Amino acid sequence: MKSGHRLQPGFWAGFCIFGLAACSDLSQTTLDSDGKIASLFAWNIPDDVPLPVEPESNPLTQAGFELGRHLFYDARLSGNGTQSCGSCHLPEKAFTDGLPVGIGSTGELHPRNSQSLINTAYNATLTWANPSLRSLEQQIVIPLFGESPIEQGITDGNRDEILQRLRDEPRYEALFADAFPDEGDPLNYDNIVKGLASFVRGLVSFSSAFDRFERGETSALSASAQRGRALFFSETLECFHCHGGYNFSDSTTDRSQTFIERPFHNTGLFNIGGVGDFPADNRGILEITGDPSDMGKFRAPTLRNIALTAPYMHDGSFASLPEVIRFYAAGGRNITEGPHAGDGRSNPFKDGFVTGFELEPSQEQDLVAFLESLTDTEFLSSSHIQNPWTDAP
């Protein structure tokens, strides 16, 4: 690791000398010697939550966020003009789509479930299973240009036409100019990626009922949710080992951290043939590393807003939270017939914390009530993250 991706105080000082107008956005934060709370963006998060890392090459600004919001919801940014990022990442579903797996602009099925985009700024790695994807700027190239599967479907053959579509949209001239004021012709793919990354990076939320409860508002959680909270953080259920911390994921990083962990886990969802195999199109980080012991290892996603993001798991295996809880209670999934037959409970690569537990039906309800308390309705319904094209004149 290099320290280069962390904010340097000198960088910000230099930025302000040449861009005094932008510094007015600093009203909520002040520059300190560590750069830990320096930002041009109004993050609106509690004081006890550290700020996420911003790349030096793309510091988050309000103008970048606003440009990204327009691009995110713009179907013209797909090869055939039919699909935007927002087609698979809907705000009312915490930026998921309600489908087992995503569907690309040409109808191709993605092997994996569309993930929530809330708090991805804190992800130590991005997507379900890729240890080297650590910046949104690197990750976003994949849905834009990827061919296996095709998502947005931008190709060498249509990329110029797509840029022209954006040039023809009157709103973009000012949006790009505001986000990249020092560039003569800022409408290009580099800045499209930076804009999209800015919008997604700014989707940060810590105002669920659970958060209010933790801040002392005892009435924010029902008695059932409070019992579920105790179960969730118990050594009996072990949930918090992978879904712990302020973002309910052990794959979390921020500006306060020196050592960054990037864990992945096999939860015993499959054990094809009894040798630990997962289906050929979904083998976890083994696909990246080639290490046989990485079979079936995926990143633990945040549980924030989890009640809105069904179906669950990397392939949409489970339709509801009770199904997921029963899966973990069983310590894995036993598939008794068909091409995927095998007892996942004895997958040789299974994580040591997925050992199973027993729950009374009322306890299962309590646990679901707790998970439902992680939904941040206030943030997900706020106007500044919604589709800006629906109110077009």
Partner 1 sequence: MHNVQLTTNLGNARTLTLAANDWQQSDTGIALIDFQDKADACAGDTKETHTSLTGQVPLASGESITGLTFSIGVPASENHQNQVAASTPLNLSSLFWSWQSGYKHMRLDVAPEGGITRPTDSGFSGTTWNLHLGSTDCTDDAQNGDEVSCGRNNRPDIILTDFDPTQNHVFFDYAALVAGANLSEDSAGPAGCMSGLTDTECSPVFAALGLNLTSGNTDTSLTQSVFSVR
CA dist., res. 99 & res. 307, Å (int): 14
**Quick one: which of 68, 200, 60, 69 has its CA closest to 123?**
200
Q: Is 337 in the site for partner 1 (CB under 8 A)?
A: no
Q: Provide the 3-class DSSP secondary structure of residue 252.
A: strand
* Of the candidate residues 12, 72, 145, 270, the single one contacting partner 1 (CB under 8 A): 145
**Quick one: which of 192, 171, 244 has its CA closest to 71?**
192
CA dist., res. 274 & res. 47, Å (int): 49
Residue 277: DSSP 8-state: B
Do the Cβ atoms of 115 and 127 come closer than 8 Å? yes
Q: Is 108 in the site for partner 1 (CB under 8 A)?
A: no
* Of the candidate residues 184, 290, 361, 393, the single one contacting partner 1 (CB under 8 A): 290
Backbone φ and ψ of 331, nearest 5°: 75, 25
Stretch that binds partner 1, among 12-20, 96-104, 139-147, 301-309 (CB under 8 A): 139-147
* Of the candidate residues 32, 34, 92, 147, the single one contacting partner 1 (CB under 8 A): 147
Cβ proximity to partner 1, 57 vs 320, nearer residue: 57
Cβ proximity to partner 1, 291 vs 378, nearer residue: 291
Q: Is 68 in the site for partner 1 (CB under 8 A)?
A: no
Q: What is the CA radius of gyration of the chain?
A: 22
Interface with partner 1 in residues 171-210 (CB under 8 A): 188-190, 192-193
**Quick one: which of 298, 125, 308, 104 has its CA closest to 205?**
308
Does the bond joining 361 to the residue before it have cis omega, within 30 degrees of 0?
no
Q: Is 10 in the site for partner 1 (CB under 8 A)?
A: no
CA dist., res. 277 & res. 340, Å (int): 9
Interface with partner 1 in residues 344-383 (CB under 8 A): none
Least distance to partner 1, CB of residue 250, Å: 19
* Of the candidate residues 17, 280, 338, 383, the single one contacting partner 1 (CB under 8 A): 280
Residues near 355 by Cβ (< 8 Å), separated by ≥ 6?
Answer: 238, 331
CA dist., res. 119 & res. 135, Å (int): 13
CA dist., res. 271 & res. 244, Å (int): 26
Q: Is 287 in the site for partner 1 (CB under 8 A)?
A: yes
18 sits in which H/E element: helix 9-18
**Per-residue interface string for the shown chain with partner 1, residues 230-269, x marking contact by CB under 8 A:** ----------------------------------------
What per-residue string of b and e applies to 209-225 under the rule 16 or more CB within 10 Å gives b?
A: bbbbbbeeeeebbbebb
Cβ proximity to partner 1, 51 vs 368, nearer residue: 51
Stretch that binds partner 1, among 66-74, 223-231, 281-289, 320-328 (CB under 8 A): 281-289
CA dist., res. 12 & res. 96, Å (int): 35
Least distance to partner 1, CB of residue 188, Å: 8
Tokens coding 365 = 């309800």
Least distance to partner 1, CB of residue 8, Å: 11
Least distance to partner 1, CB of residue 139, Å: 8
Q: Is 166 in the site for partner 1 (CB under 8 A)?
A: no
Cβ proximity to partner 1, 283 vs 304, nearer residue: 283
Least distance to partner 1, CB of residue 243, Å: 24
Least distance to partner 1, CB of residue 2, Å: 6
* Of the candidate residues 4, 170, 216, 352, the single one contacting partner 1 (CB under 8 A): 4
Q: Which residues bind partner 1 (CB under 8 A)?
A: 1-2, 4-5, 55-57, 130-135, 137-138, 141-142, 145-148, 154-157, 159, 188-190, 192-193, 280-281, 283, 286-291, 339
